[in-house]
Amino acid sequence: MNILINFLIIFFVVINTSVAQEIKVFDFTETELSGLEVRKVRGADNKTVYIVGSNDNGNFLKAIADNAASGLGKELKIDLNKTPFINITWKIEKDLVGIKENTKKGHDFAARVFVIKKIGATPLSNRAVNYVFSSNNQIGFNSPSPYTKKSIDNVLSSTKNNLNEWVTVKANVKEDFKKFHDLDVNELDGLAIMSDTDNSKMRAVAYYQNIYFSAE
């Protein structure tokens, strides 16, 4: 799988964050999905299939990755001094047991959410923190992407703890950029979600719901 930092900045839809203390990123509606480009990662055989659904807690996005890799991105202008926390509700129905996620051959995740900061004039200069639902590593494990040290994989959930169960997690994005990239980031520039299995050639099924930024 090729580096995603380049790809994530290309197809964003702008979000107006104003002064809200909670900033919702996705509505997960058919209208929203139709306006987002599902962009396949270069070198992947197939696109991940994204399907809108709903339950008692609202809308969600189902992702089916069968030897596939593609994501959905939005351009964000999030004030991390006011709303530094990202909140994610997600679930893995079918995971990717047995792969080594910190290697190029195994660098796949049933669910991941990227947050991105533009640093230079080109996407190659960008920095990313990749919040992942791991199939093989424990919560708290982190490592640079095997494709670039400019993107850090950080495990927020693991199917070792929760398989086929909804999980809600939270992370301080501002602190994570300082911890992983030694950057004092005041404003976030982009976010994307992706379920990918192009390296392992396996099949994963995941769900995303209620992705938002908050003050605490």
Who contacts 185 (Cβ-Cβ below 8 Å, separation ≥6)? Answer: 80, 117, 173, 174, 177, 178
Q: How distant, in Å, are the alpha carbons of 45, 51, 60 from that of 55? A: 31, 13, 8
| pLDDT tens by residue, the chain, 216 residues | 444 545 454 444 444 444 458 999 999 999 999 888 777 788 888 999 999 999 999 999 999 999 999 999 888 899 999 999 999 999 999 999 999 999 999 999 999 999 999 987 766 779 999 999 999 999 999 999 999 999 999 999 999 999 999 999 999 999 999 999 999 999 999 899 999 999 999 999 999 999 999 999
* Among 157, 212, 206, 149, residue whose Cα is nearest residue 20: 212
Nearest to 33 by CA among 72, 69, 7: 72
Q: What is the sign of the dihedral through the CA atoms of 13, 131, 122 and 104? A: negative
At residue 142, the pLDDT reads 97
Q: Which domains does the chain have, with CATH numbers?
A: 4-214 (2.60.120.260)
**Other CB atoms within 10 Å distance of the CB of residue 25:** 22
Largest pairwise CA distance in the chain: 44
Residue 6: per-residue pLDDT: 52
Two tokens, residue 198: 């192009």
